[in-house]
Amino acid sequence: MTALIGTVAPLYAAFADVPHPGRVDGCTNCCISEEELAVLSSRNREELSAADLRSYAGNAPDTVGAPGDFQYFLPRLLEVSATGELNWPDRGWVVRRLRFVPWRDWPATQRNAVRAYLRAWWLQALTSTPPTDDPWEVLASLTEVEPEAAWDDYLTLWLASGRSARCWLARFVNEHLTGLMLNRAWNSFARRDSGPVLLSWLRSGPPGRALMEEYEHDPDAPEAQAFLAAAALLETP
């Protein structure tokens, strides 16, 4: 069992008291069918398959459903996203739907369960071989759904998650530092104001030192030059 899937049971526990919405409405012109709405309205979330949820996941809660029923279905949505049963919309799309609901005002147990899922998703993207997700899309999605005050937690996790995660850090610096310095968008899913925050963090000292540590640990490794180049870029005025 992956760490991401391990966050699912706590999600169900945290959202156990959220009632079934009873009726789910939505735009049946192009977003969801009447038959799909009937399934959502009549079944408990645990009984819903990825196919049952596909149209809902792609459109909730702005053109299908409402924030209250999204809160009810969220554990199941995140579960089938974690297991890969729901391959479209993908995990990033499902997570970014959180920006349409006031989830940061939900009870602390629910907020904490969602954040545990987000942290596990970020960690999985940084450390899985082969990669399960595009780390840039994951980070961009986190900037969309989390307040700026919470970003530092994910950036700290980036530094603390081993050599694989730091390889991604070197790649990010080598690919995006110049663009960040020119205030260019670094990912189409990212909040526009995330660039200056990332640039400030990258140049704060610890990221550069972490990259040099990895280079010095094994200067002959295939990825060593990427570490060295990224560390040098961070030292450039």
pLDDT digits 0-9 by tens, 81-121: 999 999 999 999 999 999 999 999 999 999 999 999 999 99
- Among 110, 58, 67, 119, residue whose Cα is nearest residue 86: 58
In this prediction the pTM is 0.96
CA distance 40 to 42: 6
Q: What are the distances in angstroms from CA 113 to CA 106, 204, 226?
A: 11, 30, 36
3-state secondary structure of 132: coil
Maximum C-alpha span of the chain: 62
Is the pLDDT confidence value at 1 over 70? no
CA distance 196 to 148: 11
How many C-beta atoms surround the C-beta of residue 22 within 10 A?
A: 9
Q: What is the pLDDT of residues 15-32, one digit of tens each?
A: 999 999 999 999 999 999
Q: What is the mean pLDDT of residues 161-187?
A: 98
**Cα R_g (the chain), whole angstroms:** 20
The confidence band for 53, taking pLDDT boundaries of 50, 70 and 90, is very high
The confidence band for 80, taking pLDDT boundaries of 50, 70 and 90, is very high
For residues 95 and 141, the answer to whether their CB atoms sit within 8 Å is: yes
Instruction: Work out the percent of the chain whose per-residue pLDDT is above 70.
Output: 100
**Would the CA dihedral through 113, 148, 61, 188 be positive or negative?**
negative
Q: Report DSSP letters for 48-105, one per residue.
A: --HHHHHHHHHHTTTTBS-HHHHHHHHHHHHHHHHHTS--SS-HHHHHHGGGGTTGGG
- Among 118, 7, 15, 125, residue whose Cα is nearest residue 70: 15
Q: Residue 237: its pLDDT value, please?
A: 80
CA distance 71 to 21: 10
Q: What is the mean pLDDT of residues 149-172?
A: 98
CA distance 31 to 215: 50
Mean pLDDT of the chain: 97
Question: Scanning the structure block, which residue is given the tokens 């060593």?
Answer: 224
For residues 49 and 85, the answer to whether their CB atoms sit within 8 Å is: yes
Bridge partners (DSSP) of residue 64 are 26
Question: Scanning the structure block, which residue is given the tokens 């079934």?
Answer: 20
